Structure 1
Amino acid sequence: MRLQEIIEIVREYFLLAFIAVIVFGILFFLGYFIVYKKLLGGKKSLSKRRLLFCGLFIGYLIMVIGVTFLNRGSNYEGRIVLAFLSSYREAWYSFSVRDWQFLLLNIFMFVPLGILLPLLHSRFQRAIWTIVVALLFTLSIETFQFITGYGIFEVDDLFNNLLGGIIGYGIVMGFMTLKEKEIKRSFYYFSPLLVVILSFGSIFTYYHLKEFGNLSITPIHRSDLIQATITRDIQLNENRMAVPVYKAPSYTKDTADDFILTFFERINLDTSNTEVISYQNEILHWIGEERSHSIWFRFLDGSYDYTDFSSFREDKGPEDVDEETLKEKVRQFGIDLPQDAHFQKVDTGTYEWMVDKKEIENQLVDGFLTVTYYNDDTVKSIVNRLITYEKVRDVQIKSEQEAYEEILKGKFQYYSENKRIETLQIDQVEVSYHLDSKGYYQPIYAFHSTVDGVGTIILIPGI
């Protein structure tokens, strides 16, 4: 989720909360001044400070309800995730802005609750009262999301929300004690915020200092092999070996923009009317007032998806063509294919070239290029995953036996409705590669296997 999208969501529900507070204010005015004061002759008065914080609290509750329920559909089917800190492990292995955003937003969302409660009533200046209310509030949200399908019941969400409430409480109580010049006590109250800042700062610093990135294939949970029958027909090498690590041709936003503009200019497209949507590791360019062409470009390796939307016109359709003609067409896009790339027909007018880890001096060419040719003698779509990687250096990786032992411990990703594996047969193992979160092409082990009768490739990080 982009920062702009988050701001739009906050702005939308801030307006809703503002309108709701005004409506509640009018109803309160009618009830308090007309019914209570005039008709019933009430003498009790309310401070402006209390009214202000009540209004802020009501507005905050409405914003939370909007973000957690009104902003999403009922399509989660009552999922429960009880594994503590699994969302942190997922954020670490993928190291995507989106995952870290959700963690931080779940913390910050409850900071206002921790701030407002002690200001509303002196009872909440005792930590236990604020913590209990924050816990009950987040538990209510998670339970309602589970029942309605508007979200997932996650233990990590309870933890993050409660942590946010504690941070908010610490902030307001810290400033209260600062006014009383109790420096040591205020530091105690500010400590939850300081611990969180130090923890996240340490995570991000360590990540940016280490040489290679993280692999998304690293499992968050262990696969259930308790009752599994595991067999293999291959001999596994017990010796570690040195293999190369490669680097993809990574891009910044500026260099990606230059590549895309050059790409469109090659096919004589007017780029004066371009809409650009940027993400952390990707960028989307739309061309033309009616979005006639698009390219989705990935910074980490320079791969992209190109689409000419005239392909949806009724008079256009895919058409078969010979390889040489198609090669000439893709050259117009600035694409040069290796001579021995494997060429095959996928469907009518759709063809694919594949290269399987071809080493050329200090480079590695790997991946595929898929194109669709149409009856107006043009290529309407390109999916380019054919990447040339530059060698970085040799690294020592685990032995095949060590990687296999990780499988025996369930340390691999496996997705199935039946979470418990009953039979696992290892048929073959090879060294393959996987792109990490920093654009390095890391060696991994690919175990060609049969899991409960279904062919599966189990991936184990090599380093």
Structure 2
Amino acid sequence: MDLISIVSGLLPYVKYSIFFIIVLMIGYFIYRKFYQEKYPIHLSKFIFITLLICWFIVVFGITTLSRGAKYTEQINFSLFTSYVNAWNKWSLTEFQLIIFNMLMFVPLGVLLPLIHHKNKSFWRVLVISIIFTSCIEISQLITGKGIFELDDLLHNTIGSLAGYFIVMVFIFWNEQRQLTFIPIVKAISIPLVFITLFGVANVVYNTQEFGNLPFKPAQKQNMEHIQLQLETELSNKSSNACVYYNKDVNDIKKGKLIAQSIAKQFNLKQQGGIRIEVDNRIFTFQDDEGSTYYLTYFMSNGSWSLSSDNIHDAPLKVDIKQQRKLLENWLKSEGLLHNNAIYQQQDERTIRWDLAEPEHLQSTCEDFSKGLVMISLFNQQVPDILFEISDNEMVAKKQLISPQQAYNVLVTGEFSTYNPLQKGDTLTITDVRLTYTYDTKGYYQPVYVFTCIVNEQDYLIEVLISAIQ
């Protein structure tokens, strides 16, 4: 979630709010002309009420109306799961969501005391804030357009109280013509708490040896009514395994260098800034004819892709051998393609280079590269490119838990699945193997993967458990 995404989501409802303000202002002046003397309404109070209504339109629109009905009575009563999720993924997007959920309700806390003097009471603002955010959460639950989350209710309420504390500083100053210490402390307390919280998290994260594993759950599966069946043997023996490092993970500088190289190679011009999409970075280009191209840099593993919205139905009229030579020379000059990469022509327009992953990563303990480059050629100058080659440096050797110990972790429910297990489900474990995955710092860590069947051939899932002690 970046600034562009937020603005694009807000814009339609802001338009509705502006239209609503215009209609109400016209109505107010008509009222003032005919009824103001008999039933006086102060303009300032009318404006604040109008702003409150418009705020609610925007918030309700972006939290409920703008979403598809893809949730089915999902409720999350666990507090602080958003923090655990943000920590596990060490994700800017997840941290932004926490902050945005608070900022979204700041106007409520600001407007309430300005509308009526009784709303200067902290407890009154607290109750009204909880009612407002509860209505939104309940509407999401009923319509299926969101999840009822206790974290959202907490953050919305905190945001409203932050706005309340800030506006009360100005109200006290207006009434008493002096600033007192306590209101100022209250106004800065909430921002200061979260700055401290995120600062401490950043220090802890940067001092730990490895990164976090994004697949770890924000909350455990409830295994109380889940039947487990084990159809494979589990060893009690622990072993050692190597850990590797990929410097391109989360390296936006590498993404910028690739963007510059692509622009130069294909004579493209970059349009605008870098857009954030989940944890990826999007660069936009245009050629001389106005066609648009997108470079997506995947921060989680350092891979990237170049694609366009153009439709390519025409027969290929380019010389594949010539294009292969040009593209190969470009990739090698940028240090992106290894000399030992194996070339093949996949079909009439697709060429690729492959690097095989070593078979015994656990014990090889040598630097290695793996992955592929796949290029789809078209009649225009710019091809579609998928780059998934990663260079990995051996950095450490660590003691692993045994498969049996990993299974004991699984039994406690400390794993995540796309669809949470339901009461009465049967989970049949058919296989376990040791493989590798990138953590949030770019370390290629060993993990156990349990292959499971849910409800006897209903569907397959893979459960990942950290292998390092």
Shorter-normalised TM-score: what interval?
0.7 to 0.9
Q: Is the 8 A contact 1:329 1:379 kept in 2?
A: no
Q: Is the 8 A contact 2:263 2:285 kept in 1?
A: no
Which digits, 9 at most, give the CA deviation of each residue in 1:397-456, with x for residues without a partner?
4333322211111212223476354132242321x2212223232222223444443544
Distance 2:23 2:156 in 1: 28
- Structure 2 counterpart of 1:106, one-letter code: N
Deviates more, 1:127-136 or 1:282-291: 282-291
What's 2:441 paired with?
A: 438
Distance 1:390 1:191 in 2: 45
- For residue 357 of structure 2, give the secondary structure of its aligned residue in structure 1: strand
1:187-202 alignment runs, 5 A limit: 187=185, 191-202=189-200
TM-score, normalisation: structure 1:
0.81
What's 2:235 paired with?
A: 236
Distance 1:309 1:407 in 2: 43
- For residue 51 of structure 2, give the secondary structure of its aligned residue in structure 1: helix
- Structure 1 counterpart of 2:410, one-letter code: I
Distance 1:61 1:109 in 2: 10
What's 1:336 paired with?
A: 337
Aligned residue among 83, 90, 97 for 2:92: 97
Cα deviation for residue 164 of structure 1 reads 1.4
- Cα–Cα, structure 1 residues 278 and 57, in superposed 2: closer, same or farther, change >3 Å? closer
Distance 1:352 1:311 in 2: 25
- Cα–Cα, structure 1 residues 50 and 293, in superposed 2: closer, same or farther, change >3 Å? closer
1:125-164 alignment runs, 5 A limit: 125-164=120-159
> Is 2:268 the counterpart of 1:271?
yes
What's 2:395 paired with?
A: 392
1:52-67 alignment runs, 5 A limit: 52-67=47-62
- For residue 423 of structure 1, give the secondary structure of its aligned residue in structure 2: strand
Q: Is the 8 A contact 2:243 2:397 kept in 1?
A: yes
Distance 1:317 1:368 in 2: 25
- For residue 54 of structure 2, give the secondary structure of its aligned residue in structure 1: helix
What's 1:76 paired with?
A: 70
- For residue 282 of structure 1, give the secondary structure of its aligned residue in structure 2: strand
> Is 2:168 the counterpart of 1:173?
yes
> Is 2:298 the counterpart of 1:295?
no
Deviates more, 1:399-408 or 1:170-179: 170-179
Cα deviation for residue 113 of structure 1 reads 0.9
What's 1:245 paired with?
A: 244
- For residue 356 of structure 1, give the secondary structure of its aligned residue in structure 2: coil
Distance 2:461 2:87 in 1: 25
- Cα–Cα, structure 1 residues 325 and 411, in superposed 2: closer, same or farther, change >3 Å? farther
- Structure 2 counterpart of 1:74, one-letter code: G
Distance 2:9 2:310 in 1: 33
- Structure 1 counterpart of 2:295, one-letter code: I
Distance 1:326 1:283 in 2: 26
Q: Is the 8 A contact 1:429 1:445 kept in 2?
A: yes
Cα deviation for residue 31 of structure 1 reads 2.0
Q: Is the 8 A contact 2:357 2:368 kept in 1?
A: no
Distance 2:169 2:239 in 1: 55
List alignment gaps of at least 5 residues for structure 1: none
Which digits, 9 at most, give the CA deviation of each residue in 1:261-280, with x for residues without a partner?
324545xx212465654326
TM-score, normalisation: structure 2:
0.80
Which digits, 9 at most, give the CA deviation of each residue in 1:355-392, with x for residues without a partner?
23466874132334444467x79994332222111233
- Cα–Cα, structure 1 residues 346 and 75, in superposed 2: closer, same or farther, change >3 Å? farther
Which digits, 9 at most, give the CA deviation of each residue in 1:261-314, with x for residues without a partner?
324545xx2124656543264232324143264432234543111336666133
- Cα–Cα, structure 1 residues 175 and 204, in superposed 2: closer, same or farther, change >3 Å? farther
Cα deviation for residue 34 of structure 1 reads 0.6
Distance 2:412 2:348 in 1: 41
Cα deviation for residue 117 of structure 1 reads 1.0
Distance 1:281 1:108 in 2: 24
Deviates more, 1:214-223 or 1:332-341: 332-341
What's 1:423 paired with?
A: 427
1:351-370 alignment runs, 5 A limit: 353=354, 355-357=356-358, 362-370=366-374
Cα deviation for residue 144 of structure 1 reads 2.1
- Structure 1 counterpart of 2:356, one-letter code: V
Deviates more, 1:277-286 or 1:183-192: 183-192
- Cα–Cα, structure 1 residues 403 and 229, in superposed 2: closer, same or farther, change >3 Å? closer
> Is 2:452 the counterpart of 1:458?
no
Distance 2:15 2:377 in 1: 49
- For residue 200 of structure 2, give the secondary structure of its aligned residue in structure 1: helix
